[in-house]
Amino acid sequence: MSDGFIELRNIRKVFAGVVALDAMSLVIKPGEIHCLAGENGSGKSTVIKIMSGVYQPDGGEILIDGKPISAMSPIEAIAHGVQVIYQDFSLFGNLTVAENLAMNVHLGEKRRLMNWRRTRAIAREAVDRLGVELDLDAEVASLPTAGKQLVAIARALMSDARLIIMDEPTTALTRKEVETLFRIVRDIQARGIAILFVSHKMREMLEISERITVIRNGRKVAEGPTGDFDEALITRHMTGGDILNEPYAWIPPPGPPPVPRLEIRGLTVPGKCEDLSLAIRPGEIVGLSGLLGSGRTDLALALFGMVPRYEGEILIDGAPVRLRTTQEAIDAGIAYVPEDRLTEGLFLPQSIKRNMLATSYERLARRLVIDRSQAEEMTQGMVRAMQIATPTAEKPVMQLSGGNQQRVVLARWLLTDARVLILNGPTVGVDVGSKAEIHAKIRELAQHHGLAVLMISDDVLELVQNCNRLVLMHRGRFIEDLPAAAVTEETVSDRLKTFT
């Protein structure tokens, strides 16, 4: 009855007591572009690993061309034409593009000797087949992310692939690169190869896919042609409810205006930003947007003590502070959640607890020894407050899904008793449901705990919905400071487009 190339039936997968997949079903038809949508931790990556033979299911069936496969190993998956493009691409940065492309062919033929001329020929063919420009002699480490991705795709196409799986392929790409990628994806499809796509970006899903499967808590909850879905519907299936999007309103307290939590006067970082002045009062959430290189990250870094040679004044609660090191910034009550949580924020192999307490140890160890019970209490509280899906705080952060990892970073900074919270891309790689929860948490912190929040984001909608004020930055200067109530996503996006 199945007309699918590959089909999962009632797949179950349990990790040490955590049910990652429970009666999960999925059908991929030959030559279709299929999107898998689901919240963080819903089991998307696990589905992919089952299909590629990395994990063995604890129950259920895998069918290829309608025939059941008893136990699928990675090699068998490849033999059946299933190719995965990993988020880290699984390339050798120290080797050339040509060698990376030809490696699997050599290994498949069990060769003992390396024939460089043949390596180039194989690579040439692979690149030509993809129809892109790639310098075969370039070292892969020297390529930009989009280039690495092309190498990975070219490699996947070499073995007679029938299905190419991409796990969040667009997170690290610019809009233009995404367009190129989509063109290539459609090209691949035209050759009869199916594509399974995982993304958190609704618009991209709706734009590229033909069919969508939505998964929640390890189960399929909806499936159908893309035309039957819209953003709201996907969201409802993913979260099991609607997400309310009320704009954030900040009402100044009666009486004289309160002293700003954070005030900067004439802040200048030579060559990066110039003469910036801004005041954020307790409870305010100020959004900051601008193109890449507008100086917005430099401002954040200066506020976090990472640019010791800034000029101008920074005041916290009216008192001038001088921020030359991150420790001074933390002591002044500033918390910074960086853009790239993986390289700047988290220690992946370490436990959730350790990651959460990373900046609090000094405070916990006032009396030379660490107060263990207090540490335990703090982490437990945070795991609950941030709704991190884990049975224990001892679990390595590596084993959490992307969205839960982001919550760990946030939790760490909330534990420092910060008064000023600077968020750089707070919800990159986070699904809609968790996004809403993280936003709610940020609002609560501002509203009930009087934090001043500076939220930097590329996602204009995120800013418009969660900030009471919006500041636009261009070439190191503040161009506009608008009340959020006066703008819409469109007007801000249009304004940003005029910055070139």
Ligand X SMILES: Nc1ncnc2c1ncn2[C@@H]1O[C@H](COP(=O)(O)OP(=O)(O)OP(=O)(O)O)[C@@H](O)[C@H]1O
Q: What residues line the site for other proteins (CB under 8 A)? A: 74-75, 86, 90-95, 99, 103-104, 106-108, 111-114, 116, 139, 141-142
45: contact with Mg ion by CB under 5 A: yes
149: contact with Mg ion by CB under 5 A: no
259 dihedral zone (left: phi>0; alpha: psi -120 to 50; beta): beta
Q: Between 101 and 388, whose beta carbon lies closer to ligand X?
A: 388
Q: Between 338 and 426, whose beta carbon lies closer to other proteins?
A: 338
217: contact with ligand X by CB under 6 A: no
CB of 343 to other proteins, least distance (A): 11
CB of 200 to ligand X, least distance (A): 7
Q: Round to whole Å and give the CA distance between 322 and 302.
A: 10
Taking CB within 5 to 8 Å according to partner kind, which of other proteins, ligand X, Mg ion, none is near residue 141?
Answer: other proteins
Candidates 26-34, 38-46, 439-447, 485-493; binding stretch for ligand X (CB under 6 A): 38-46
Amino acid identity for residue 19 in this structure: V
Report which secondary-structure segment, H or E, holds 355: helix 352-357
CB of 163 to other proteins, least distance (A): 17
User: Would you state the structure tokens that stand for residue 451, as one six-digit string?
Assistant: 């934090």
Taking CB within 5 to 8 Å according to partner kind, which of other proteins, Mg ion, ligand X, none is near residue 453?
Answer: none
226: contact with ligand X by CB under 6 A: no
Q: Between 90 and 325, whose beta carbon lies closer to other proteins?
A: 90
Interface characters, 45-64, with ligand X (x: CB under 6 A): xx------------------
Number of CB atoms found within 10 A of residue 188's CB:
21
Candidates 10-18, 60-68, 69-77, 341-349; binding stretch for ligand X (CB under 6 A): 10-18
402: contact with ligand X by CB under 6 A: yes
Taking CB within 5 to 8 Å according to partner kind, which of other proteins, Mg ion, ligand X, none is near residue 46?
Answer: ligand X
Candidates 26-34, 45-53, 91-99, 299-307; binding stretch for Mg ion (CB under 5 A): 45-53
SS3 state of residue 224: strand
Candidates 91-99, 337-345, 397-405, 475-483; binding stretch for ligand X (CB under 6 A): 397-405
The answer to whether 397 touches 350, Cβ cutoff 8 Å, is yes
DSSP state at residue 472: E
Residue with smallest beta-carbon separation from ligand X: 401
Which phi and psi (to 5°) does residue 243 adopt? -105, 125
Judged by CB under 6 A, the chain residues 409 through 448 that form the site for ligand X are: 431
Helices (H), 426-498: 432-449, 460-466, 489-497
Q: Beta strands 67-69 and 452-456: pairing type? A: unpaired
Taking CB within 5 to 8 Å according to partner kind, which of other proteins, Mg ion, ligand X, none is near residue 149?
Answer: none
The answer to whether 476 touches 273, Cβ cutoff 8 Å, is yes
CB of 389 to ligand X, least distance (A): 5
Taking CB within 5 to 8 Å according to partner kind, which of ligand X, other proteins, Mg ion, none is near residue 361?
Answer: none
Candidates 258-266, 348-356, 370-378, 395-403; binding stretch for ligand X (CB under 6 A): 395-403
The answer to whether 156 touches 83, Cβ cutoff 8 Å, is yes
401: contact with ligand X by CB under 6 A: yes
Q: Between 141 and 440, whose beta carbon lies closer to other proteins?
A: 141
Among 7, 33, 35, 44, contact with ligand X (rule: CB under 6 A): 44
Taking CB within 5 to 8 Å according to partner kind, which of other proteins, Mg ion, ligand X, none is near residue 251?
Answer: none
DSSP state at residue 29: -
Q: Which residue has the tokens 């999007």?
A: 245
Binding residue count for ligand X, defined by CB under 6 A: 19
CB under 8 A, 24+ apart: contacts of 148-152: 148/89, 148/91, 149/85, 149/89, 149/173, 149/181, 150/184, 151/89, 151/91, 151/97, 151/100, 151/101, 152/85, 152/86, 152/89, 152/90, 152/91
User: Would you state the structure tokens that stand for residue 239, as one six-digit string?
Assistant: 């979260």
Q: Round to whole Å and give the CA distance between 167 and 217.
A: 18
297: contact with Mg ion by CB under 5 A: no
Closest CA to 62 of 120, 110, 98, 13: 13
CB of 90 to other proteins, least distance (A): 4
Closest CA to 9 of 67, 55, 52: 67
Residues sharing a CB contact under 8 Å with residue 286, sequence separation 6 or more, in sequence order: 278, 280, 452, 453, 454, 455, 467, 468, 469, 470, 471
Taking CB within 5 to 8 Å according to partner kind, which of ligand X, Mg ion, other proteins, none is near residue 252?
Answer: none
Report which secondary-structure segment, H or E, holds 12: strand 6-15
Q: Between 44 and 469, whose beta carbon lies closer to ligand X?
A: 44
CB of 377 to other proteins, least distance (A): 36
Q: Between 73 and 115, whose beta carbon lies closer to ligand X?
A: 73
Q: Which residue has the tokens 């990892």?
A: 405
Among 8, 32, 35, 41, contact with ligand X (rule: CB under 6 A): 41
Residues sharing a CB contact under 8 Å with residue 381, sequence separation 6 or more, in sequence order: none
Q: Round to whole Å and give the CA distance between 132 and 185.
A: 12
User: Applying CB under 6 A, which residues contact ligand X?
Assistant: 15-16, 18, 20, 38, 40-46, 389, 399-403, 431
User: Applying CB under 5 A, which residues contact Mg ion?
Assistant: 45
